[in-house]
Amino acid sequence: MKADLVIRNGQIFVNGEFFEGGVAVKDGKTVAICEDRYLPEAETVLDAEGNPVMPGVVDTHVHVRDPGHRERGTFVTETKAAAAGGVTCFLEHPISSPPPYSPEILRNRVRVATPQALVDYAFFGAAGAEFPDEVEKVAKEGIVAFKTFLHEAPEGRDEEFRGLTMANDGEMLDGFRAVAKTGLILTIHAENNDIIQRLIRQFRAEGKVGFEYHYKSRPPITEIETVAKLLMFAKETGTRVSFAHISTPEAAELVKRAKLDGMDVYLETCPHYLFLTEEMIDKYGPYAKGNPPLRSRESMEKLWDYVNDGSVDFIGSDHGPFLVSEKEKGMKDIFTAAAGPACIEMTLPLMLTAVRDGKLSMRRMVELLCENPARVFGLWPRKGAIRVGGDADYVIADMKNEYTVNNKDFVTHSRDTSPMYNGFRLVGKPLHTIVRGRIIMKNRVIDDSAEGWGKVMLPGWGSGRTA
């Protein structure tokens, strides 16, 4: 057999550990994992130069604003950023204009992404109170999960949140029941909007619109109380739930207890809650604004306990591109700025640096970034691991050399909005990214001709079908 691609001289991560050798690829699948001397001939040979060869990252939380707000980034620009971060497949959350609350809107998103994407992707559907009859129809279209927000649309963003919100407890209960019938996971942005809006009104009335009032208007109780309540809703309705971007250890503890009680519940956190603190909001203002906000150093450090004890299921970037002008609005009034980081390129280097520094094991990191996302959202065993018969999705990262982060080097169209990691000294910069056997990035150079190579992934009882 002559392979299409052989990667040799690598540290191959398989079954929870490294071994020296390589992999062979044929027709987009991994066909051999062995010592270099047993590798077949190939059309293309890539030397890993002793660096780790790991499964490609499956990012559980990405926002692409295309269609509707292509000025913020497109499926081309943001999947190039994904490739630059070693992400070979991502789950696209449904904030678009409009969100995919109907089969027709979802199909249009697939049509938009198909000729553009360089890496693979899957879609979440929108679940809100406005269109309950559409939930079951959208579920049949091949989404991997639903997403909802527990508030009315933010000021000026009505179209982006149409069909995506459950604004009160009655709507939440009805929405949970509708999603429960589909058997799919409901991913929730868990913050108490009543408390937040009351605090914002109070602060504005007092002229308190400076940077620090972002996190002061969203204290930890807004997340903790909401997670506690929604766990009860999930238990009552039998809904499978996943909590997006959890920022507090207290909320993580509640989810941990629910898991121990046998509930089908999942927990996601993000790199910024593990590496940044609220001091970054004081420094960078709207550029460091996200929802939920960054927390105290004590909270950040405690959250690592839940990363390591298995309570956290996956770490998603919550990549959210915006324009500089949309961030700059917050310089005079923090509440008017768009919220969200554009840091899909930071997740893997941050976590690999944490591995180097002894904060977690490589096995645990791969579980969080690759294996668990694929398993939970129905893409296993095609995605999430280096295994014979699986998709040949790999990332080769440089663990030998430190580099200094500068957001001007990012690939995302929204690079200028994300200076929060500037000056960090990290290892693990992705050198090569391979998606289904095609080298999308080689030596940090992205293959522009790979536009359209990425495919939409459909969950299929573990088969990870493609459309």
Tell me, yes or no, whether 292 and 343 share the same domain.
yes
440-465 average pLDDT score: 85
- Map residue 101 onto helix, strand or coil: coil
| Residue 381 within any structural domain of the chain | no
Tell me, yes or no, whether 273 and 315 share the same domain.
yes
Tell me, yes or no, whether 234 and 304 share the same domain.
yes
Amino acid identity of residue 59, one-letter, is D
Q: pLDDT above 90 covers what percent of the chain?
A: 93
| Residue 462 within any structural domain of the chain | no
pLDDT in tens, 48-60: 999 999 999 999 9
Residues in the chain: 467
pLDDT in tens, 134-176: 999 999 999 999 999 997 777 677 788 889 999 899 999 999 9
Contact 38, 32 (CB under 8 A): yes
Taking the C-alpha atoms of residue 272 and residue 259, their distance in angstroms, rounded to an integer, is 24
Tell me, yes or no, whether 437 and 321 share the same domain.
no
Tell me, yes or no, whether 351 and 411 share the same domain.
no
| Residue 465 within any structural domain of the chain | no
Contact 354, 312 (CB under 8 A): no
Cross-strand partners of 266: 242
334-355 average pLDDT score: 97
At 460, the pLDDT band (50, 70, 90 cuts) reads: low
Output the pLDDT for position 129: 87
Tell me, yes or no, whether 180 and 263 share the same domain.
yes
Pick the more confident residue, 181 or 129: 181
Tell me, yes or no, whether 128 and 252 share the same domain.
yes
Output the pLDDT for position 191: 96
Beta strands 186-189 and 445-446, pairing class: unpaired
Output the pLDDT for position 155: 67
Tell me, yes or no, whether 318 and 170 share the same domain.
yes
Where a domain ends, among 376, 410, 438?
376
381-402 average pLDDT score: 98
Tell me, yes or no, whether 269 and 293 share the same domain.
yes
Taking the C-alpha atoms of residue 28 and residue 214, their distance in angstroms, rounded to an integer, is 46
* Structural domain count of the chain: 2
Output the pLDDT for position 467: 56
Tell me, yes or no, whether 136 and 39 share the same domain.
no
pLDDT in tens, 106-130: 999 999 999 999 999 999 999 998 8
Taking the C-alpha atoms of residue 291 and residue 215, their distance in angstroms, rounded to an integer, is 9
| Residue 124 within any structural domain of the chain | yes
Domain that holds residue 390: 3-53+386-450
CATH of the domain at 395: 2.30.40.10
Where a domain ends, among 320, 344, 376?
376
| Residue 137 within any structural domain of the chain | yes
Cβ density class 236-269: b for 16+ within 10 Å, e for less: ebebbbbbbbbbbbbbbbbbbebbeeebebbbbb
| Residue 461 within any structural domain of the chain | no
pLDDT in tens, 400-425: 999 999 999 999 999 999 999 999 99
pLDDT in tens, 260-302: 999 999 999 999 999 999 999 999 999 999 999 999 999 999 9
Tell me, yes or no, whether 260 and 407 share the same domain.
no
Tell me, yes or no, whether 347 and 419 share the same domain.
no
Write phi, then psi, for 260 (nearest 5 degrees): -65, -25
Where a domain ends, among 376, 400, 433?
376
**Which DSSP category does 98 fall into?**
S
Contact 10, 50 (CB under 8 A): yes
Taking the C-alpha atoms of residue 426 and residue 351, their distance in angstroms, rounded to an integer, is 9
User: Measured in whole angstroms, how far is the alpha carbon of residue 264 from the centre of its chain?
Assistant: 20
**Which DSSP category does 370 fall into?**
I
At 465, the pLDDT band (50, 70, 90 cuts) reads: low
pLDDT in tens, 209-256: 999 999 999 999 999 999 999 999 999 999 999 999 999 999 999 999
At 461, the pLDDT band (50, 70, 90 cuts) reads: very low
Output the pLDDT for position 463: 43
pTM: 0.97
Cis peptide before 286 (omega within 30 of 0): no
Taking the C-alpha atoms of residue 449 and residue 307, their distance in angstroms, rounded to an integer, is 38
Output the pLDDT for position 20: 98
Taking the C-alpha atoms of residue 341 and residue 337, their distance in angstroms, rounded to an integer, is 12
50-76 average pLDDT score: 96
Mean pLDDT, the chain, whole residue set? 96
User: Measured in whole angstroms, how far is the alpha carbon of residue 190 from the centre of its chain?
Assistant: 16
CATH of the domain at 192: 3.20.20.140
| Residue 466 within any structural domain of the chain | no
Contacts of residue 447, defined as CB under 8 A and 6 or more positions apart, other chains included, come to 118, 438, 439, 440, 441
| Residue 464 within any structural domain of the chain | no
For the chain, the 3-state helix, strand and coil shares in percent, each to the nearest 5, are 35, 25, 40
